[in-house]
Chain A
């Protein structure tokens, strides 16, 4: 029944690629036009130097574009080789983006055009008179100093210029520079890794102020970890704790500092402390551990890194591409075990295309299944107040109805699927779908609302009667929410039962109270939600295949499979990555 139309799938991918290619091409045109303009005048060189950051940016984008196209090309080749690769239609990374492109929602042109306006800042240190002159030209005199330093931070000016600004201010101001300016200067120093300057500013702040606020501390921590005074960062971290809990950035920086100076245990303790405070670490923090461990040969540390991977597994987190590369590099650096890493995709059947191992099944075990069922009944359908989504009477009616029926194979959200095709009469779509599915000897339940029975031009009575003959039907009140009934009916029928709707059920997922249940729900949804691949009235219906394997970090002892996010693909929160890192031991 759930056959996959491969050729269609391929053509669909092609379509997307064409679109992707169309994106950058107009930009290239604008560049060429621009280029001709630059060679127009005599003094083009001067302006050229001014717009340097812009040109660098274009280079960067071009690089990115070329990378994207090359990766998509390679993806095309791969799909030719392994045509069975098929991500889940609703949840695989990039689907939502693709869909929005198909429907023609275009982002703001400026948004996709990385361009920093070349504000004209001084190119060398100025003396006092020159600064005075500059200030005279500026319109708002009272914010001049702050504005100037903010611009310098924005365009990453050389610190000598900032210094000259500060000396000018100090000379005007009896040798005093305000806190805000100092913070601006510190930001500049930290972003340019001027460690000696950071230490100087640190000394000044220590003598000037009794205490700082978290922003200042954050900057100091970030600046000091590279210096010999890195242990001071721990004191600064304690200072932050007095007012509020430190951010993940603060912890991450301190951990990085400890690792830079070979203090593994300290770093690990900070990491544990962070987890205790329920702060989720940055990817850079995890990566720092793996990068550090590449050179170390010691067994307890290996255990800790595996602990990190298990932590990611339990929290359903997917590594970023650079982090995945770090993991791979670390595994391959372990002596005598001979790990080999490869970036792969997974077959539809759940086999890894490199090592051929079967991935973990997406189906919940019976304990988890029962748990999820109870929670859906309690949180989604009931929700503390039965009157909000439906009425107790209707819940009773529904539960009795479900009990009286045999378990279903497919539960259909009647309203959702019929509204997908606005040009076709609703009742006709429903009849068509139901009759085709029941031909395959499947037990079908159609959920709908009572108004569907009343008879109108869109809902013809005879067609609805035919539907009722072929399938079990349950019609909720017009004001009730039918999705909750759909979920419960599917869960009640057992693990083989699927449901047919295009709804992503995000609002119902949000009704569940804790993260664990939400993960269970999402896993169950990936394995049980059916969607049309395409539909024309009267033609054979084809569904997209459902996932059979769970997208999560997993291990069998001598192999690891780690899904990760590609750099070029934009993944939405309800989607899952399609790329995997396969690690295996070679004997």
Chain B
């Protein structure tokens, strides 16, 4: 009976289709359903009053008395402090009791930021951000402690077995010290210095300061750092230009804050001038996803411009408008031509662009370069099968055209015939 009932419930929820299924394979379907159902409703109460003797009256208001009696002081109403900051702090405390996503500890600065948010939604958003940040920090700390404990363990065991091991270990005979970080860095710097002299320029256009809120600007600078790092480690790096970088502007400040004293030693060129003033206009190509032109090959004699702009406020065509204004040629990556695009924006992050361009520069292989497009955005490259399909379609098109031309010919022939007849 109960299986019948579960089946019924499921049936009611899922319209007619399961009904048909049930006819096909009754036994299996029933068991699956039963499992599913029993896991979903853990408790089953039957009002089986015959078995249990009438229980004594339960004191339902008992908890109220204890809750009231355990109080320390008598208050007539809530006493929130009038100061907004303290009130906000108390509010956050109460939210924690409800298991809301709010941080456990909050600094005065953050508290001020939360209290100054204009709306309820923005407050909640900021608190959630702080909460997630706190969780990450906590997880990191835990991981570190675990690692430290493990290291201590190893150390201890080493010390225990030290006496025997020290006799066995001998100095190995090598002709090199291990290649350390410093050597690698020197090598990278050497390459980048060469790129500064002979390398192909790559421009980051920093003209979008005013289109972004603070958090997007921070993200952009993160991406810039990432792409600069990728370039530095490459075998044949670009010569990076930061154009339109205003000294004392938000970008400049944030970059100096992130790079610290390294900023002055970076092997790239920064300028307040626009790319049009720095380079000949004909050799510039602005890369933007809104462009109607598709990039087919990477050209080593051109200077590519990437707009350093994280557009979370969905203001379309801004960088393309910029290219139009400066009368620069524009191109977009052939994402649709090579990938089966599924979800997401065609705009890629700066470091992905940088990696794609570097790969193109070194190999010229689109498939290899587009490996850096996030996997979640597409379901794979257009494979051979699709290509062959295209091939067949092309063939059919050709056939049609041949037919058409044939018809034309024949109609010509007909007209010739009539002409003959007229004659």
Interfacial residues, chain A to chain B (CB-CB below 8 A): 26, 30, 33-34, 37-38, 40-41, 43, 46-47, 51, 54, 109-110, 113, 115, 117-127, 134, 137-139, 160, 163-164, 166-167, 169-171, 174-180, 183, 200, 203-204, 206-216, 232, 235-236, 239, 242-245, 247, 385, 387-389, 391, 478-479
Once A177-B63, A213-B94 are accepted as A-B contacts, the answer to whether A115 and B16 lie under 8 Å apart by CB is no
Chain B residues with CB under 8 Å of A163's CB are: 60-61, 63
On whether A41 and B45 interact (CB within 8 A), knowing A127-B58, A387-B325, A388-B317, the answer reads: no
Evaluate whether A40 and B77 lie within 8 angstroms (CB atoms) in the complex, with A34-B12, A180-B99, A209-B94 already known: no
Q: A211-B87, A387-B321 are known contacts. Are A175 and B77 too (CB-CB below 8 A)?
A: no
Residue of A nearest to B325 (CB): A387
Contact check, B9 vs A117: say whether CB atoms are below 8 A apart.
yes
In contact, B5 and A207 (Cβ under 8 angstroms): no
B69: Cβ under 8 A from any A Cβ: yes
Report Cα–Cα, A206/B67, bound state, in Å.
11
A208 to B324, CA, bound (A): 66
Please give, as numbers and ranges, the residues of chain A lying within 8 Å of B4 by CB-CB distance: 37, 40-41
Cα A183 to Cα B94 in complex, Å, equals: 11
Report the bound CA distance from A389 to B68 in whole Å: 67
Please measure, in the bound complex, the distance between the C-alpha atom of A170 and the C-alpha atom of B58, giving whole angstroms. 13
Determine, out of B78-86, B144-152, B238-246, the stretch whose residues face the partner at the interface.
B78-86
Which chain B residues lie closer than 8 Å to A126 at the CB level? 58
Residues in B with CB closer than 8 Å to A38 are 8
Instruction: Name the B residues within 8 Å of A387 (CB-CB).
Output: 321-322, 324-325
A257 to chain B, nearest CB (A): 17
9 residue pairs bridging A and B, Cβ less than 8 Å apart: A26-B15, A126-B58, A139-B42, A174-B66, A176-B67, A179-B94, A180-B99, A242-B84, A478-B292
CA distance A183 to B97 in the complex (A): 10
Mask: chain B, 90-122; 1 = CB below 8 Å from A; 0 = not: 110011011100000000000000000001100
Tell me the complex Cα distance, A215–B64, Å: 21
Chain A proximity of B151: nearest CB distance (Å): 33
B71 interfacial by beta-carbon distance below 8 Å = yes
Q: Chain A residues near B45 (CB, 8 Å)?
A: 120-123
Bound CA span A208–B67, Å: 8
Q: B70 contacts A242, CB within 8 Å? A: no
With CB as the reference atom, state the residue of chain A lying closest to B322.
Answer: A387
Least Cβ distance of B197 to chain A in Å? 36
- CB neighbours (8 Å) of A247 from chain B are 120
Is B13's CB under 8 angstroms from A213's CB? no
CB-defined contacts of B79 to chain A, threshold 8 Å = 210-211
The complex places the Cα of A566 from the Cα of B316 at a distance, in Å, of 38
User: A34 and B8: CB pair below 8 A?
Assistant: yes
Report the minimum CB–CB distance from B86 to chain A (whole Å).
9
What A residues does B76 contact at CB under 8 A?
A: 206
Residue tally, chain B, CB below 8 Å to A = 64
The 3 nearest A-B residue pairs measured at CB? A175-B66, A170-B63, A387-B321
Whether the pair A124, B321 counts as a contact (CB closer than 8 A) is no
Could you tell me the distance in whole angstroms from the C-beta of B309 to the nearest C-beta in chain A?
14
Is B123 part of the contact surface with A, judged by Cβ < 8 Å?
A: yes
Tell me, rounded to whole Å, the shortest Cβ–Cβ distance linking A47 to chain B: 5
User: Contacts A41-B1, A385-B321; is A54 near B43 (CB within 8 Å)?
Assistant: no
Using A37-B4, A109-B15 as known contacts, list a sample of 13 further A-B pairs with CB atoms less than 8 Å apart, ordered by residue number in A: A122-B45, A127-B55, A167-B61, A175-B70, A178-B97, A183-B98, A204-B64, A209-B78, A211-B87, A211-B90, A213-B98, A244-B123, A479-B292
From A30, A119, A125, contact of B60 by CB (8 A): A125
Q: Which residue of A lies closest to B56 (CB)?
A: A127
Residue from B68, B71, B78, B119 with most neighbouring chain A CB atoms (10 Å): B78
Whether B1 contacts A43 by the Cβ 8 Å rule is yes
Kindly list chain B residues whose C-beta atoms are within 8 Å of the C-beta of A110: 13-15
B343 to chain A, nearest CB (A): 20
Supposing A43-B1, A167-B63 touch, asked if A120 and B91 sit within 8 A by C-beta, the answer is: no
Q: Do residues A125 and B58 form an inter-chain contact, with CB atoms below 8 A? A: yes
Q: Does B75 contact A (CB under 8 A)?
A: yes
B43 in contact with A115 (CB, 8 Å): no
Residues on the B chain within 8 Å of A479, using CB: 292
B16 → A minimal CB distance (Å): 7
Residue numbers in B under 8 Å from A124 (CB-CB):
47
B411 CB, nearest partner CB in chain A, Å: 18
Residue of B nearest to A215 (CB): B98
Contact: A242 with B120, CB < 8 Å? no
- Residue ID in chain B nearest A163 by CB atoms: B60
Contact of B75 with A167 in the complex, beta carbons under 8 Å: no
Query: Nearest-CB distance from A433 to chain B (Å)?
Result: 28
Q: When chains A and B are docked, how far (Å) is the Cα of A26 from the Cα of B46?
A: 34
Closest to B47 in A: A123
B59 at the interface (CB under 8 A from A): yes
Once the chains are docked, how many angstroms separate the CA of A137 from the CA of B38?
Answer: 12
CB-CB nearest in chain B for A166:
B63
B68 touches A388 (CB 8 A): no
Answer yes or no: B88 CB below 8 A from chain A CBs: yes
Q: Is there a chain A Cβ closer than 8 Å to B264's Cβ?
A: no
Shortest A390–chain B CB gap in Å is 9
Given A127-B55, A179-B94, A387-B322, residue A244 in contact with residue B42 (CB < 8 A):
no
> How far, in angstroms, from A463 to B366 measured CA to CA in the complex?
42
Query: Is A167's CB under 8 angstroms from B68's CB?
Result: no
Chain A proximity of B281: nearest CB distance (Å) = 16
Asked whether A210 lies within 8 Å of B98 as measured between CB atoms, the reply is no
Complex CA gap A206/B320 in Å reads 60
**B12-40 near A? 1/0 per residue, CB < 8 Å:** 11111001000000000000000000000
User: Are A120 and B43 within 8 A (Cβ)?
Assistant: yes
Q: Which residue of A lies closest to B84 (CB)?
A: A242
Asked whether any CB of chain A lies closer than 8 Å to the CB of B74, the reply is yes
How far, in Å, is B82 (CB) from chain A's closest CB? 7
Bound CA span A166–B63, Å: 7
CA separation between A122 and B360, bound complex, in Å?
Answer: 67
Nearest A residue to B97 by beta-carbon distance? A179
Contact among A34, A139, A207 for B74, CB-based, below 8 A: A207
Q: In this complex, which of A51, A167, A183, A200 has the most chain B Cβ atoms within 10 angstroms of its Cβ? A: A167
Known: A117-B9, A245-B120. A211 touches B80 (CB 8 A): yes
Tell which of B46, B94, B99, B120 touches A216, judged by Cβ atoms closer than 8 Å: B94
Judging by beta carbons under 8 Å apart, are B82 and A206 in contact?
no
Q: Once bound together, how far apart are the Cα atoms of A119 and B43, in whole Å?
A: 8
Nearest-Cβ distance from residue A191 to partner chain B, whole angstroms: 18
A164-B42 contact in complex given A26-B16, A176-B70, A211-B90, C-beta closer than 8 Å: no
When the two chains form their complex, are residues B78 and A206 in contact, meaning their CB atoms are under 8 A apart?
yes
Q: Tell me which residues across on chain B come within 8 A of A171, comparing CB atoms.
A: 62-63
Q: How far is the CA of A478 from the CA of B292 in the complex (A)?
A: 9
Kindly state whether residue B177 has any CB partner on chain A within 8 Å: no
Q: Is the CB of B321 within 8 A of A388?
A: yes
Q: Which residues of A contact B5 (CB under 8 A)?
A: 47
Assembly CA distance A207 to B72 (angstroms): 8
The residue on B at minimum CB distance from A128 is B58
In the complex, which of the residues B76, B316, B324 has the most CB atoms of chain A within 10 Å of its own CB atom?
Answer: B324
Residues of B within 8 A of A118 (CB): 9
B44 on interface, CB distance cutoff 8 Å:
yes
**A175–B75 CB distance below 8 A:** no
Q: Which of A34, A115, A207, A236 has the most CB of B within 10 A?
A: A207
Cα of A167 to Cα of B66 in the assembled complex, Å: 10
> Is the Cβ of A54 less than 8 Å from the Cβ of B12?
yes
Within 8 A of A (CB), among B158-202: none
Output the least CB separation between A340 and chain B (Å).
Answer: 44
A175 touches B63 (CB 8 A): yes
**A54-B12, A235-B77, A242-B80 known; A164 and B43 CB under 8 Å?**
no
B41 is an interface residue with CB less than 8 A from chain A = yes
CA–CA, A247 and B119, complex, Å: 11
Q: Which of B42, B47, B64, B90 touches A137 (beta carbons < 8 Å)?
A: B42
Smallest distance from the beta carbon of B191 to chain A beta carbons, Å? 38
Asked, given contacts A120-B43, A204-B68, whether A239 binds B78 with beta carbons under 8 Å apart, the answer is yes
Chain B residues, Cβ within 8 Å of A34? 8, 11-12
Given A120-B45, A242-B82, A164-B60 contact (CB < 8 Å): yes
